[in-house]
Amino acid sequence: MSSGIGYSYESLLERAFTKLAGKKGSEEIFEVPRASVLIIGGKTIIQNFREIARALGREEDLLKRYFMKEFNTPGSVNEAGQLELKGKFSSTAVNQLLERFVQKYVKCSTCGSAHTKLYKRGKVFVLKCDACGAETTFQAF
């Protein structure tokens, strides 16, 4: 992202857009952190797992269980805060799942804000948006 022309062009566009549109409203840019993935032996390690969970404002345990469920494999978080999953999964696959997690369990489906909370209510997860107040429920896992 920091290399030359592309970057400055984008920031120019950004500036032009901001000037034209004034404020961008409640639609803010939320960047999904990229998982850095390492495959060692028969294990896949998400090296920045702890940082990702923190950036998303979600519990490590929830994010861990999500990956285990989606990849259908056992996993654990080590002392360094890395998630170790049994089996080999590509960086692309991991990041696609992460992206899907954010779309479903972090971003508000009504207004798109990432200022949300996720909590368990009985047998469901409730995603509550701090920005617009919308509530979405999902089957818990």
Residues that bind Zn ion (CB under 5 A): 108, 110-111, 113, 129, 131-132, 134
Q: Provide the minimum distance between the beta carbon of 39 and Zn ion in the complex, in angstroms, as a whole number.
A: 37
Q: Provide the minimum distance between the beta carbon of 133 and Zn ion in the complex, in angstroms, as a whole number.
A: 7
For residues 44 and 88, the answer to whether their CB atoms sit within 8 Å is yes
Q: What is the enclosing helix (H) or strand (E) of 136?
A: strand 135-139
Residue 53 or 106 having the CB closest to Zn ion: 106
Q: Tokens standing for 116?
A: 């949300």
- Listed in sequence order, the residues at least 6 apart from 81 whose beta carbon sits closer than 8 Å to its beta carbon are 49, 50, 51, 60
Q: Provide the minimum distance between the beta carbon of 98 and Zn ion in the complex, in angstroms, as a whole number.
A: 21
Residue 44 or 113 having the CB closest to Zn ion: 113
Q: What is the DSSP string of 76-108?
A: EE-TTS-EEEES---HHHHHHHHHHHHHHHTS-
Residue 35 or 108 having the CB closest to Zn ion: 108
Q: Provide the minimum distance between the beta carbon of 5 and Zn ion in the complex, in angstroms, as a whole number.
A: 36
Residue 46 or 129 having the CB closest to Zn ion: 129
